Amino acid sequence: MKEYFKVGKIAYEGPKSTNPLAFKYYNKDEVILGKPMHEHLKFAMSWWHTLCAKGSDQFGSNTMVRTFEATDPLQEAYQKVDAGFEFMDKLGIEYFCFHDRDLAPEMPTLKESNEALDKVSDYVLEKMKGTNIKCLWGTANCFNHKRYLAGAGTSPNADVFAYAAAQIKKAMDTTKKLGGKNYVFWGGREGYDTLLNTDVKQELDHYATLLTLARDYNKKSGLNAQLLIEPKPKEPTKHQYDFDVQTVLGFLRTYGLEKDFKMNIEANHATLAIHTFNHELNVARINGVLGSIDANQGDMLLGWDTDQFPTNLYDAILAMYEVLLNGGLGTGGLNFDAKVRRQSFTDEDLFISYIAGMDTFARGLRIAAKLLEDKVFENFKTERYASYKTGIGKKIADKKVTLEELSDYALAHDQIENASGRQEWLEAILNQYI
């Protein structure tokens, strides 16, 4: 078997290591809060950014130097499988995520595209045997091809809707074949650029129909995956229908789908919505729909989806804090929906970026676990809301009070004393844990 990467197996060397090709914080089998790190951190390789992205942007052509390239796209697809498995093995990554069109190229007809996907996924399945590498989630790329210029499930053209449905069916079948436990819907071009040509009500109805059909097929086909919606507020359209977690919750509840879907939260999508990553994780968690994470980060000064590797420790701590409060991610994991910068074009950069991302989340986990163990914020919050544990507060919390009774109470207690929120103190304590 040809070796595609000159880099060897990546080992844990501890925080003092100066080796760029070693883990400093991710020590796979080390137990944190009763679980080995690799169970807390089910890292996944994104097929698209890792094996397909070649470094081009709006202003320039490819920059990546990749030894698994080939002139025939199908041949390249097979070589990507070999390269991907070598990469995951060397990094000790146990999961991968894919779009149908990342695994196998789009062919002239849908039938041929399906056949190509069958062939390449057969090969993926073969490679999985005898390894502990698994599929975290699959999805359909219903946004890249020009047929999807006005969306997929929300396209004004019913033939496009049907084509998207066919692609989703096939991607679900492929996810089942590869043993994927989750299936993701990122809205792609489900949104609009101008209301002058858009019937939002119809588009949302159609989108819900597509998701309902997929929900039913998930059961019928025996895939039985956790279905996940990935919110994003804008890009590629000006207004994406799956704007943020709260908007998606409203949409799901309107169409009676709230029990069938959880969320895949992406850090860069949260910040595009002018939310923090941990805000989105929090809203998902308290609503019981925190399913999985697309781990990356944006550049706060750019304002588009830069999909950078997550190296912001502060954000990773707060994210892992939410994950711990959630009791983990269930069947979900941490998918690096992140790509190396255009200037980081070598093989080594790919490894270094994954190591940086994995170490950031590993260190985030370590710190979040300590904060949780010491109940730093939890004790403060318990105290802060203590007035709802007794007296009038308990009556409010138990919904055993009337507006008249509250009025009488307030008349007798109108000299109110508040307690400090202590934000700066809490932030300083968080810094002490770092």
Active site residues: 99, 102
Q: What 3-state class would DSSP assign to 239?
A: strand
* Residue 189 binds ligand XUL (CB under 6 A): no
Nearer to ligand XUL by Cβ, of 300 and 416: the residue is 300
Positions in 219-248 near ligand XUL (CB under 6 A): 230, 232
Nearer to ligand XUL by Cβ, of 23 and 251: the residue is 251
Closest CA to 156 of 194, 186, 184, 183: 194
Cα–Cα distances in Å, from 331 out to 12, 179, 291?
26, 12, 7
Contacts of 143 (CB under 8 A, 6+ apart): 152, 188, 189, 236
Task: List the single partner that 173 binds among ligand XUL, Co ion, none, CB under 5 to 8 Å by kind.
Answer: none
Contacts of 299 (CB under 8 A, 6+ apart): 306, 308
Task: List the single partner that 95 binds among Co ion, ligand XUL, none, CB under 5 to 8 Å by kind.
Answer: none
Nearer to Co ion by Cβ, of 184 and 371: the residue is 184
Q: Give 196's DSSP letter.
A: G
Count of C-beta atoms within a 10 Å radius of residue 81: 21
Q: State in angstroms the smallest separation of the CB of 230 from ligand XUL.
A: 5
Contact pattern for Co ion over residues 225 through 264, marking x by CB under 5 A: ----------------------------------------
* Residue 102 binds Co ion (CB under 5 A): no
Taking the alpha carbons of 391, 393, 397, 403 in that order, is the dihedral positive or negative?
positive
Among 102, 266, 315, 347, which residue sits at the site for ligand XUL (rule: CB under 6 A)? 266
d(CA 88, CA 69): 18
* Residue 294 binds Co ion (CB under 5 A): yes
Closest CA to 211 of 239, 248, 181: 248
Among 260, 266, 315, 359, which residue sits at the site for Co ion (rule: CB under 5 A)? 266
d(CA 19, CA 41): 22
d(CA 362, CA 365): 5
* Residue 366 binds ligand XUL (CB under 6 A): no
Among 139, 167, 282, 326, which residue sits at the site for ligand XUL (rule: CB under 6 A)? 139
* Residue 337 binds Co ion (CB under 5 A): yes
Task: List the single partner that 232 binds among ligand XUL, Co ion, none, CB under 5 to 8 Å by kind.
Answer: ligand XUL
Nearer to ligand XUL by Cβ, of 336 and 361: the residue is 336
Q: Give 50's DSSP letter.
A: I
Q: What 3-state class would DSSP assign to 180?
A: coil
Nearer to ligand XUL by Cβ, of 44 and 88: the residue is 44
Nearer to ligand XUL by Cβ, of 184 and 290: the residue is 184
Quote the radius of gyration of the chain (alpha carbons, Å).
24
List interacting residues with ligand XUL (CB under 6 A): 99, 139, 184, 186, 230, 232, 266, 294, 305, 337
